[in-house]
Chain A
Amino acid sequence: MTTIAVVSAGLSEPSSTRLLADRLAAAVQREAQAEVRVINLREHAHDIADNLLTGFPPPALRTAIDTVVEADALIAVSPIFNASYSGLFKSFFDVLEPDSLAGKPVLLGATGGTARHSLALEHALRPMFAYLRATVAPTAVFAATEDWGGDDQGLADRVASAGRELADLVNGKPSRPRPNGFDDPIPFEQLLGRGELTRPAD
């Protein structure tokens, strides 16, 4: 079964960030058979700070990280603070092992008071996931407070497009296990040979 991890960095409860995350997940599920696993970063805030200090995740955070790393796709949604993702959102991705998200299909979302903050998705979130070598869906979805009311279908349309894009990425791309130096160690002769001249000259 395909799994989709949803990371929501919303801080209040209930949270509009979580609401957007759920809408995005539902949109993907309309297009792809997938099980959704939601991670509310608020619940892991202390563990994330501890991990930054100690270098390892406590058990509950370990489980959350494994969920993200092992998922076939990721939906990542942050509130926009000071023109960028929230510190908690960034810190969660900072404690992942390098290459954890390489090649993973990712759908981005963000929330804020007004649409004036919407381009933070493009100048802050998208470059970070590009750096992490994730495969980011072309449409990133911003929801301002006004999007949750009124007659405008804009948000619903954007959510639907983004959901289709992530579903296409997931459906078109069988997941493959990442290489791991423990299950498949590099033989030592090969390590020695990397230097070419490392052996004593005959």
Chain B
Amino acid sequence: MQFGIFTVGDVTTDPTTGTTPTEAERIQGMVTIALKAEEVGLDVFATGEHHNPPFVPSSPTTMLGYVAARTERLILSTSTTLITTNDPVKIAEDFAMLQHLAGGRVDLMMGRGNTGPVYPWFGKDIRDGIDLAIENYALLRGLWREDVVDWEGRFRTPLRSFTSTPRPLDGVPPFVWHGSIRSPEIAEQAAYYGDGFFANNIFWPREHFIRLVNLYRARFEHYGHGKAEQAIVGLGGQVFMRKNSQDAVREFRPYFDNAPVYGHGPSLEDFTDQTPLTVGSPQEVIDKTLTFRDSFGDYQRQLFLVDHAGLPLKTVLEQLDLLGEEVIPVLRKEFAALRPANVPEAPTHQSLLAASTVQAAR
């Protein structure tokens, strides 16, 4: 099982001090967090993609390329890459390039984006969101898998004798996850291709995500990629920890109360009851995370959100220390002991390369 972090990349005022990081500080902070993730033994760093303030990560492969140069082991991913408003040709090129630079330590997560104005800024219409996700991704797959592509569609200029360069590293396209917070069509899409499905599992009750994951698993089996329990599932989670549970609650409460998305609404206590958020000791995070398996079945990737709502960089790095020292080692052991032998690990470049070599030999 893979463990990691995913970041939205928001620039948010620290409500306890009133200070707001500059874009430069936030971008450097995100890089520091990524490097720390490798240092403490996490497997994955994923960045969001946004094209409006107060978010900074508009160019994920630029950031991930830089992180790749300064890490050895970390898998670089996205949460999410906008399959609706990006040109699929540019996604194909950017992530193939990143694969080469990172020695294959790359996968990505497709998402639609739910900010209406972003669509027209890129010449698109949010009402076409699902159709864009379907057409663009079908083209993206083709660009990675066929050397010469002739293509026409609804949303982009036709391609005649087009070759996307560089070709994927070792001829193996990056593994793709599809993220969705409400659309059964995206679970269906992930299942059809046998790709991974990621439920962000933050800010909403888990029941909301369970029906998406269950649909994805059932349809994964329907399309003949394996048993439902062998489908490739990733989950998010949101945590804030201190050694002592009460300290965590006391310290996080002002960030919670003023947070974007859910601030000024429910109490921290109600929200931790109703959503996957855990605020407490490392042991409480371990206990809550293990319950995800009861709700979603055995899964392959767990990403935590640790750096939003204006938390200072120093605090975030302390969260990563606690994750690396006290939480992840226990979760690795517990999840591994519980996982049946027929449930696969998340695909990596190495495993996909090995599988394609076996395929070619047949």
Contact in complex: A182, B192 (CB < 8 Å) = no
Contact in complex: A49, B134 (CB < 8 Å) = no
Contact in complex: B184, A54 (CB < 8 Å) = no
Count A-B contacts at CB 8 Å: 87
CB of B94 closer than 8 Å to a CB of A: no
Residues of B within 8 A of A59 (CB): 274
Contact in complex: A198, B138 (CB < 8 Å) = yes
Residues of B within 8 A of A191 (CB): 130, 134, 185, 188-189
Kindly identify which residue among A49, A56, A187 contacts B188, using a CB–CB cutoff of 8 Å.
Answer: A187
Contact in complex: B134, A185 (CB < 8 Å) = no
CB of A201 closer than 8 Å to a CB of B: yes
How far, in whole Å, are A135 and B157 apart by their CA atoms in the complex?
45
Q: Which residue of A lies closest to B211 (CB)?
A: A182
Contact in complex: A192, B211 (CB < 8 Å) = no
Which parts of A158-199 form the interface with B (CB within 8 Å)?
Answer: 181-182, 185-188, 191-192, 194-199
Contact in complex: B154, A195 (CB < 8 Å) = yes
B202 → A minimal CB distance (Å): 11
Residues of B within 8 A of A199 (CB): 138
What is the 8 Å Cβ interface bit string for chain B, positions 239-279, against chain A (1 contact, 0 not)? 00000000000000000000001111110001100110000
B323 → A minimal CB distance (Å): 25
Contact in complex: B138, A53 (CB < 8 Å) = no
Question: Interface size (A, Cβ < 8 Å)?
Answer: 25
How far, in whole Å, are A41 and B142 apart by their CA atoms in the complex?
53
Q: Which residue of B lies closest to A46 (CB)?
A: B266
CB of A150 closer than 8 Å to a CB of B: no
CB of A146 closer than 8 Å to a CB of B: no
How far, in whole Å, are A181 and B183 apart by their CA atoms in the complex?
8
CB of B105 closer than 8 Å to a CB of A: no
Residues of A within 8 A of B187 (CB): 185
Contact in complex: B138, A192 (CB < 8 Å) = yes
> Contacts A197-B152, A200-B146 given: A55-B204 contact, CB under 8 Å?
yes
> Contacts A58-B274, A182-B215, A200-B146 given: A195-B205 contact, CB under 8 Å?
no
CB of A94 closer than 8 Å to a CB of B: no
How far, in whole Å, are A56 and B206 apart by their CA atoms in the complex?
11
Binding site for B on A (CB under 8 A): 49-50, 52-56, 58-59, 181-182, 185-188, 191-192, 194-201
> Can you show 23 pairs from A to B with CB atoms below 8 A apart?
A50-B265, A50-B266, A53-B264, A53-B266, A54-B265, A55-B204, A56-B205, A58-B270, A181-B183, A182-B212, A185-B188, A185-B219, A186-B185, A187-B188, A188-B188, A188-B192, A195-B154, A197-B153, A198-B134, A200-B138, A200-B146, A200-B151, A201-B151
List of 3 A-B pairs having minimum Cβ-Cβ separation, nearest first = A53-B265, A181-B184, A188-B192
